[in-house]
Amino acid sequence: MKIIIIGGGASGLACAIKAKDNTNEVTILEKNARCGKKLLLTGNGRCNYFNEDFDVNYYHAKKKELLGDIITEKNKAEVLTFLDDIGLVPKIQKGYYYPRSNQAVSVLESLLNAAISCGVVIKTDVAVLNIRYEDKFYVETSDGVYEADKVVIATGSKAYPKTGSNGDGYNLVKPFHHLINPLPALTPLFTNLPYLRDWAGVRLDAKASLYVGNNLLQEESGEVQLTDNGISGIPIFNLSSVAIRELTNKKDVKVILNFLPFIDDAKTYLDERSDKLPYLNISSFFDSLINYKLSNIILKKNKISYDSFYATLTPSKKNSLIDDLTSFEVPITGYADFNTAQVCSGGVSLDEINILTMESLKQKDLYIIGEMLDVDGVCGGYNLGFVWLSAILAAKSIRGYHD
């Protein structure tokens, strides 16, 4: 049986390794000069490739309820067995899996070595132009036409186009499938607030709450970065998938930032701090609590002189100040594009594939895996976690067995 896998990234390589046996001829077609270019950039070159807390709640999808059938403890164990089988030695930090070497190249080399050793044929510099099905598949490429009994589309999304992920795969599946509009995810969000230059470069621990209108949709905590065009950092990345889709739907989107997440009752805390340090003017009063750039913005916004003392503020001024410290409103007006996004939301809807095998419900023997599907996870190894899982499920089906 001839199997063509389009795309030599993480999903394509993993699927090829698991699909290859003595009767299957497996060929990867990769348009770049080498495989796994995007994988090398993952985790700032360290490659956070899995997470111990492998749970459906860390994912977004239009048909998210279908994910519960495959993101299970049993499948988690199968993914970890596969990663161990290809020789990856994990370094686990707070549930995050990294290669012990702390180098993404170790993950790529483990995949490549395993693929080559089991007889997978890898053809690089081959761009796939079209897929036809006439009793079998005809894969039209820059290197001629390849015939196949089964085809796996593992091209990745439109995120990081400089690595070759420019959305080619979407064009290949359009004759067979409806696409949920691909949008950037795990990316910074933009705002039109007037003090962006003043707060640019500030990093601080905060709680970020995503609202659409008056409805709270998601909350994240961690280090938030304030930039010259908006907000960034892992908590913001984790909100971005939902925020961007709602913004695209013309909804009123905002992020509320709590700059004092370590304080349960800000009013009591600040009153007690004022009693303890009555000699500090209000600028110095906030020095060890939050970055001075941010405190200056909040004081200026509330028309409070830097030489004032907290104890002398009126109750309404105190309340307004506390609101900005714990519920600072950031209207979201835009977002970074695919060049910055780590992944995409959107793609082939889960209800158009067999979720247990990754086989298309529209075209027999066509498989769609990885970022081509409408599944995106938060930061922390979840996106690669789904890549491994979808690749393994497709390969098991190709080889003729699945649960």
d(CA 367, CA 232): 35
Residues 387, 370: contact at Cβ < 8 Å?
A: yes
- Average pLDDT of the residues in 248-258: 97
Q: Is 51 exposed, middle or buried (CB count within 10 Å of its CB: 0-12, 13-18, 19+)?
A: buried
- Average pLDDT of the residues in 30-47: 91
Dihedral over Cα of 79, 81, 87, 93: its sign = positive
pLDDT confidence of residue 167: 85
Q: Which of 352, 401, 347, 351 is nearest to 11 (CA)?
A: 347
For residue 301, pLDDT beyond 80? yes
Residues 156, 371: contact at Cβ < 8 Å?
A: yes
d(CA 114, CA 119): 9
For residue 39, pLDDT beyond 90? yes
Banded model confidence at residue 45, pLDDT cuts 50, 70, 90: confident
Buried residues in 123-138 as b, exposed as e (16+ CB within 10 A) = eeebebeebeeeeebe
Residues 82, 18: contact at Cβ < 8 Å?
A: yes
C-alpha dist (Å) from residue 267 to 208, 284, 352 = 20, 18, 52
Q: Which residue has the higher pLDDT, 166 or 106?
A: 106
Q: How many C-beta neighbours within 10 Å does residue 80 have?
A: 18
pLDDT confidence of residue 403: 43
Banded model confidence at residue 402, pLDDT cuts 50, 70, 90: very low
Half-sphere exposure of 301 (CA within 13 A, CB side): 21
Q: Which of 26, 32, 28 is nearest to 12 (CA)?
A: 28
- Average pLDDT of the residues in 67-83: 96
What is the set of domains in the chain, with CATH numbers?
Answer: 2-185+340-398 (3.50.50.60), 188-336 (no CATH)
pLDDT confidence of residue 99: 96
Cα angle, residue 42 at apex, residues 41 and 44 outer, rounded to 5°: 75
pLDDT confidence of residue 163: 80
Strands 343-348 and 179-185: antiparallel
Spacing of C-alpha 183 from chain mean position = 11
pLDDT, one tens digit per residue, over 303-325 is 999 999 999 999 999 999 999 99
Tell how many helices (H) and how many strands (E) occur in the chain.
11, 24
- Average pLDDT of the residues in 202-208: 97
pLDDT confidence of residue 42: 85
pLDDT, one tens digit per residue, over 137-192 is 999 999 999 999 999 999 999 998 888 778 899 999 999 999 999 999 999 999 99
pLDDT, one tens digit per residue, over 272-291 is 999 999 999 999 999 889 99
d(CA 43, CA 48): 5
Cα angle, residue 84 at apex, residues 83 and 89 outer, rounded to 5°: 100
For residue 134, pLDDT beyond 90? yes
Banded model confidence at residue 401, pLDDT cuts 50, 70, 90: low
Chain mean pLDDT for the chain: 95
Q: Which of 139, 156, 165, 130 is nearest to 4 (CA)?
A: 139
Percent of the chain with pLDDT over 90: 94
For residue 19, pLDDT beyond 70? yes
pLDDT confidence of residue 400: 86
DSSP string, 174-230: TTT--EEEEEEES--EE---TTHHHHTTEEEEEEEEEEETTEEEEEEEEEEEE-SSE
- Average pLDDT of the residues in 255-284: 96
